Structure 1
């Protein structure tokens, strides 16, 4: 015999809906998540709501990983050394990387819409640990700057439909999530610039919808669906491919 109860667990501004199943056959509290990203908590009849929340608090990183897919897939088969012949992902496509020696104090990345060119001092041309870190930092800086230039503009198409105007969009490093809406400001993970633009649009629409709905309620998803009719497909793409969005 079991009983079910639907509740929400809050992680910062993120609301994670879950269903509690109390069962006479259980002695411990366990969590599971299905393909629709619905979280189920299975608990013994003696467990309290505080007990359930305590377990959810202890598994917050796991919940965010599952909901946002940041660790759904394994990483690349080998770490990048940022040498000619490797590829960098941008807007959902792979572009070749060419590394050339130049009279520059720090590695510099540029892009001509077909090829990424990384200019490096001759001391950084090899693949030793220090050089790899310096090259990676130059590449990250380029993508962060490009994300800050491009991602905010993509939100304007949704603002008027939500009755909003000039919502600030900040881009930066984020742990275990792709975006958040907090106090009238949208914050996005810079790595979204690596994803197809349709995925960027989904995350922006998702966060802007939080201006009307705090929780992931039916009304919230109806709002997202009005902006992005195929949002479930895009959400699933991000869940399955999110961990590939890395330099």
Structure 2
């Protein structure tokens, strides 16, 4: 049973007799919560927030283990900031993976671990783009948040905790910059309105009038934003 007031990262939630709150991740990478009958939703969400890094890392590991290993070839492309970037496979390159002059350079020695090295590189690229951008937009539109983290989430692009911690999926850095800004504003708006109320969407619309187009772009193209 899905309870809407519970953090949306949770796939299944139920109340049980007893005093113990349990969290597990099943074989399909779903987050399953069992909580005592009288435990407050806020306490459950706080517990989830404390475990968020572990949850996302564990889910990512399950998903990656289920997926076949991709081999990257010279001349393949990967999207970054909305532009398809060429992959160069270089013999004995000094780095396992590097983004340089608008291209991804990969050492020929890292197959079939190329995906893991590229994931690490993309997390760094995401941080380098997201961190200054979210601080700029928060200052520009008078939002206050506590911290920003890069996540490996597969099912959503961003999240905002009850404490104002914002998580952004590294895969989002593959999207066009205006789409990235939409997701950032979306999460910043949650620091004011926790749910997706009419007031929430008005906050988003006042900053990004065409936010519906950005949201639709993600629905149509999000499946392609991955390694």
Q: 1:111 aligns with which of 91, 94, 99?
A: 99
Q: Does 1:170 align with 2:158?
A: no
Rounded to whole Å, the distance in 2 between the matches of 1:175 and 1:115 is 25
Tell me the equivalent position of 2:199. 219
Tell me the equivalent position of 1:92. 82
In structure 2, do the counterparts of structure 1 residues 194 and 146 end up closer, same or farther at CA, with 3 Å as the change threshold? same
Tell me the equivalent position of 1:146. 125
Q: Which runs of 5+ in 1 are unaligned?
A: 1-7, 15-77, 125-130
Rounded to whole Å, the distance in 2 between the matches of 1:13 and 1:209 is 16
Tell me the equivalent position of 2:41. none
Aligned to 2:155, the other structure's residue is in SS state: coil
- Indicate the structure whose relative CO is greater, using CA pairs within 8 Å and at least 6 residues apart: 1
Q: Does 1:184 align with 2:153?
A: no
String of CA shifts for 1:58-85, please: whole Å, max 9, x gaps.
Answer: xxxxxxxxxxxxxxxxxxxx97411101
Pairwise CA distance, 1:138: 0.9
Pairwise CA distance, 1:162: 4.5
TM (norm. structure 1) is 0.62
Pairwise CA distance, 1:113: 2.8
Aligned partners of 1:158 and 1:227 also within 8 Å:
no
Q: Which runs of 5+ in 2 are unaligned?
A: 10-67
Task: Map residues 1-247 of structure 1 onto 2, 5 A cutoff.
Answer: 9-12=4-7, 80-102=70-92, 108-121=96-109, 124=110, 131-132=111-112, 134-165=113-144, 167-182=146-161, 183-247=163-227
Rounded to whole Å, the distance in 2 between the matches of 1:96 and 1:203 is 26
Number of aligned residue pairs? 167
Larger strand percent: 1
String of CA shifts for 1:195-214, please: whole Å, max 9, x gaps.
Answer: 11111100000000001111
